[in-house]
Amino acid sequence: MRDISNKIKGKNLYLRFINNYQLKKCTILFLLSVQMLFSQEIVVKGQAFNSGEFNDHIVYIIKNDTINKLRKHSKSLYTYWKENSKFKNRNDNSYLEFIKYSEILVKLLNDRNYRAKTDSLGNFEINARLSDSLFFESTYHTTEKFLVADLVKKKKNTVKLKLEPCEVWPQHTEKPTKLYVFIGKKIKSWISPSSYCNGVSLDSRSVSKYSVVKNIYGDFKKDTIQFTSYVHEKPLEQNYIPFKSSFVEYDYCLFYVLEYEGELIQIKYLFDDVYKTKEGRWASPLKPKGLFNTISPDSYTPQKISFTDPIEFEYEDKYYNEIHQNFPAAYHTVIDGKITVNYGYYVEDLFEIRKAGRLKKYTYLIK
């Protein structure tokens, strides 16, 4: 009896082993089948449309997020080069790295394996795996993302993109009612994107938030201020710092801001970067030619100023003649590739100078 019992147990163990083996075998085969299915490319077909509000009806179909990630990386490389290259030297490794990735991006944008577009009837097709994602994008429309595995389940693949939300820029036909002149310290600044609801605008619009360090005119009551700026064009880029064409590149500026109904707007292109002096006052260094906010020393005699931190910077040798023309020896020290600014204007004098110039049309606001 014991032998029979042992034989039965042995047979049961054998059957369990066989069953487990068969189950594992089936599981492995199933997983391999799924893996093969998801790794093989198929042709995804369908139609995609934008709102039809504009002449451009093209919808782009991008496989995965490779192109967008490459766009961001390329942009970050360019920003790094611009901020860290001493003279924006295009032979720097950082710029060459940017060029390399930009060329890769161009190739991918023209590679139908990564990006396809709709034809005149809205039809599209692209090769993709079931595990891939497809991004549908079109100018001024919200991008939509779909998993290929979900798209193939549909009987009809039709994607309709919606218009993106649009911030309407305020329009002011009325005259401004107040003028504020103040020294501001930058907190943050951001671009207000141009979009379809504002028509064709030649200006870019930004909104900035600053702490009010000192009121010069208008007695703004709060300790922080938020204002709008409109910029159409910039002067030719200078090959020397710290003089920049945009106020957001400075820590402290003297601003001239007008109050309209429901909005504060900076007078276009008008600002003066300012720095602390050793006697505790604020002043702006004499500017080179070619900037929007340059004050000519021939018209208004600058004063010798002792800045707390010397205003000095380097320049490229190839601009030697230009530097000596734009930085008169009477007001600057130019030696060994370095410029030191010794003269400028105190903020109180700057306001008087601006009143005779750009602020003249707002005389009715100045008591």
Which residues, in sequence order, are CB contacts of 278 under 8 Å at separation 6+? 306, 307, 308
Of 221, 240, 262, nearest to 324 by C-alpha is 240
**138 shares its domain with 202:** no
User: Which tokens sit at 292?
Assistant: 């929007």
pLDDT for 243: 63
**185 shares its domain with 299:** yes
Residue 187's CB is within 10 A of a number of other CB atoms, namely 12
Average pLDDT over residues 116-143: 94
Total domain count, the chain: 2
Average per-residue pLDDT for the chain: 84
Query: Which of 134, 160, 186 is the last residue in one of the domains?
Result: 160
pLDDT for 8: 54
User: Which tokens sit at 116?
Assistant: 């396809």
pLDDT for 193: 78
| Packing angle of the helix pair 66-84, 93-109 (nearest 10 deg) | 160
**194 shares its domain with 326:** yes
**103 shares its domain with 197:** no
Tens-place pLDDT, residues 193-230: 777 888 777 778 899 999 999 999 998 999 999 999 98
Q: Does residue 265 form part of some domain?
A: yes
Spell out the long-range contacts of 287-295 with Cβ–Cβ below 8 A and sequence spacing 24 or more. 287/243, 288/238, 288/240, 288/243, 288/326, 288/327, 289/325, 289/326, 290/235, 290/236, 290/238, 290/326, 291/235, 291/238, 291/243, 291/245, 292/235, 292/245, 293/269, 295/345, 295/350, 295/353
Q: Does residue 317 form part of some domain?
A: yes
Average pLDDT over residues 285-299: 79
Tens-place pLDDT, residues 300-317: 999 999 999 988 877 777
Q: Does the pLDDT at position 88 exceed 60?
A: yes
**114 shares its domain with 224:** no
Give the residue with greater pLDDT, 154 vs 186: 186
Q: Does the pLDDT at position 36 exceed 50?
A: no
Q: Does the pLDDT at position 38 exceed 80?
A: no
**222 shares its domain with 327:** yes
**292 shares its domain with 195:** yes
**195 shares its domain with 154:** no
Residue 3's CB is within 10 A of a number of other CB atoms, namely 7
User: Which tokens sit at 34?
Assistant: 């799924």
Sequential DSSP letters for 255-315: EEEEEETTEEEEEEEEEEE-EEBTTS-EEEEPPPTTSTT---TTTS--EE--BSS-EEEEB
**139 shares its domain with 272:** no
**β-strands 41-49, 158-160 pairing:** parallel
Q: Does residue 240 form part of some domain?
A: yes
**106 shares its domain with 242:** no
pLDDT for 337: 77
Angle (CA) 24-30-31 rounded to 5° is: 90
Q: Which range of residues forms the domain containing residue 46?
A: 41-160
**183 shares its domain with 150:** no
Q: Does residue 204 form part of some domain?
A: yes
Distance between CA atoms of residues 9 and 78, nearest Å:
74
Of 163, 201, 168, nearest to 53 by C-alpha is 163
HEC assignment per residue over 318-364? HHHHHHHHHCCCCCEEEECCEEEECEEEEHHHHHHHHHCCCCHHHHH
pTM score: 0.74
**205 shares its domain with 340:** yes
pLDDT for 19: 59
> Could you tell me what percent of the chain has a pLDDT over 70?
83
Query: Which of 109, 129, 160 is the last residue in one of the domains?
Result: 160
